[in-house]
Structure 1
Amino acid sequence: MTLSVLEPAAPAAEPVVTSRVSLVGRTRAGLGDALAEIGVPEKERRMRVGQLWNWIYHYGVRDFSAMTTIGKGLRAALDERFTLDLPEVTAEQVSTDGTRKWLIRMAPTGPRDRGAEIECVYIPEVDRGTLCVSSQVGCTLTCTFCHTGTQRLVRNLTCEEIVAQLMVARDRLGDFPNRSKPDGAFVPNDGGRFVSNIVFMGMGEPLYNFDGVRDAIDVISDNEGLSLGRRRITVSTSGVVPQIGPLGHEMGTMLAISLHAVRDELRNELVPLNKKYPIAELLEACRTYPGVSNAKRITFEYVMLKGVNDSDADARDLVRLLKGIPAKINLIPFNPWPGTKYECSDWDRIERFSEIVFRAGYASPVRTPRGRDILAACGQLKSETEKLSARARLMLDQDEAAAAAAVAAE
């Protein structure tokens, strides 16, 4: 593991709550409200919102003084009331495969709030760069194979906090115009954006933060700013059935379903939400998902657990369940984490499972585990804010790395 700390963890001290708030992550309406606060006339706001939008989201500027198309008086008024600060990155870990995981501390909301922490992961590939973002601090679900599910839910992230994750990633990767990429960054270098896709597969259940996720997607997909098309945004849900239809109607993104089992009794154990919304109801919501077609297939995620859900019979039942749904099936080798009772299926078993699904006419790629060495792979994210400070975590990681090196040298 390579551990890079680009900004040291803050020392244990009382957080400073500034009277100025950041405009980063705000919707157009939110920027309009900010302009109203400082007395910008209503007839002028739409133009000014457009200017702010371009500077914040297209150019990624961090200082109002850089907004040269805006008069000095307005820039000064904005600077007096607001900032363009991003959340604090308390640690960055870089995997041997180039995956980057950021521990991000959000701004404190009160005198006793130290600032919620979440994790965000960047996965570079030959043809794309995918950012895995979080929608909640912790998780409201308790999926037994998922490390994130062992962390209690603290709260939903705001629209601004969700958008800020993309802003942090682009800032760190040099992904805004006239920025240079960081030394040693393992990222696509074909002239395009380093972050080309977003998946809501980080901490939390996105559909239990529907409004925050919807508003964030509006900001992210706006073609005058961050400009990520909705076909490049995937929202993954464990099966909050009543919100799947509204997701399609109001957000129009790609849909992914964390399925992981073909029988209700097993899925009740793996994904306890299934007790409320069983498989039959979930798949009916998928069949009627707005816009679903062979060109806009639903992705079904299926984690491969040794001796639990990986038999030939499971594969055949999976094919039967998904009949009639334009679908792709992502087979995910289980990513271990400390204390888990599960093991990853053997590779020949995964290949056999994939073959059965493929022969039935479904694309069944096996997702290559990325960032396992820094606990950044699927199902491994957990900020552990309630247990350890960022500084303590870094010390533990460094101690573990040193111990491993010592063993290797013996």
Structure 2
Amino acid sequence: MSPVHHMVLYECADDDDKHLWNGWAEGDGYFGPNKPSAWATCATPIAAWAIGSQGEFLPENVGIPLGAKGGVSYYMLEVHYDNQALHNVLDSSGIRVHYTPTLREHDGALLVSGIGVSALHAIPPKQKQYRTVGICSTECSKEMLPEEGVNIVSVLLHAHSTARKISLKHIRGTQELPRISEENFYDSHYQQSRIVPRGRKFMKGDSLITECTYDSTSKDKPILGGYSAKQEMCLSFILYYPRTELAGCYSMAPVKEFFETFGVKEFYGLTFDQIENIFLSSGSFENLPPMPLTELEVQKQMSNDTGEEQGVQGDDQGVGLMKELVIWEPPEFRNKSFMAHLNEMPWAEPLLTEQIEKTLYKGMHMTFCKKRDDSWAVPMQIQSYPNYTEVMSNETAEKSCHYKSVRLPSVTKTSGSTTSLASWLVVAICTVLVVAR
């Protein structure tokens, strides 16, 4: 019954202005005009909780460094609420962190991969199985990973209520390796990190692909990416060691390719480059040129007739911008807002939706590679979807057990006999579960 949808605990890259940080942290500490300018450096998650989670557990040889000696003096807890009924709620939710002065063998870190959260992530309505993908590029792993690579320990796959499947694919060269993690019956009300059996080496030059499959058959209008429970996400939170400066490795549709996929060639008063800059900055559209009077009248009428709110400036990942952009070319769509055009497309036509899915999935991707301080590790690039041979069998789903099914010990080193016995027990339990399913 809690309105808490999910929580993320972030590290904040160290900043010289301790007085400003302390004043903000000891006050209300909420997002607002008085927040420190370095707030943007709180970009590296170290713990994530979502509905159904029982918490995060680290192997006995891995820990996440705390405090100034570890290079981190401040943390930010971000809580997302889903309170569509607007109930009055007094909430005291949070994350309990257990720590020890006894350092573990390896410093760990969390990497976020998948699709960048923005309105450029679109899911058409009336679709039984619509797929989208986010890419962690080879250029990013080449630049940021050590020569010996890193070890992936566990993965939390995250999306919202229309998602039905999520997988984290691992590509090396032109060959897909067994899936690192996979949910073939994803339920947004049960989200938990999954231990990667025997771990997985993520090497320089490897790429990761987060794929989400959505069921939007109950929706009448397209769903756009965003933080709201009514919007969608497609993310992988990856726990790995040893710790590096890499914090984010993801992609989204390039602006020009995205709009052209939906038949739009030009907007009134703005180039695609200008629109891209808006998406890559704050998402603000306060300096948009005035819309034609006819479109303003249409927007007002649509708002009055449907109850759909007008686009407003704010941290909405560009959804409001979609309502404000007015199409100039082609002439048959002229003076329509992009959102109105999107809502009116013939989504029941399978040839249309299949082509859109193929273009956005297999086409060009704008890739991002970010460090812990939110700086670029590799310049943003637009590149084609990787060419690789897919795995034929779903080894991950067949052989891995989940926290929901069995409580696994948080260890990575045991004696040979104990390892053998534990392995047989896990296989036995998994076999029973598969038969029961």
TM-score by length of 2: 0.28
Which structure's residues are more often helix, by fraction? Answer: 1
TM-score by length of 1: 0.29
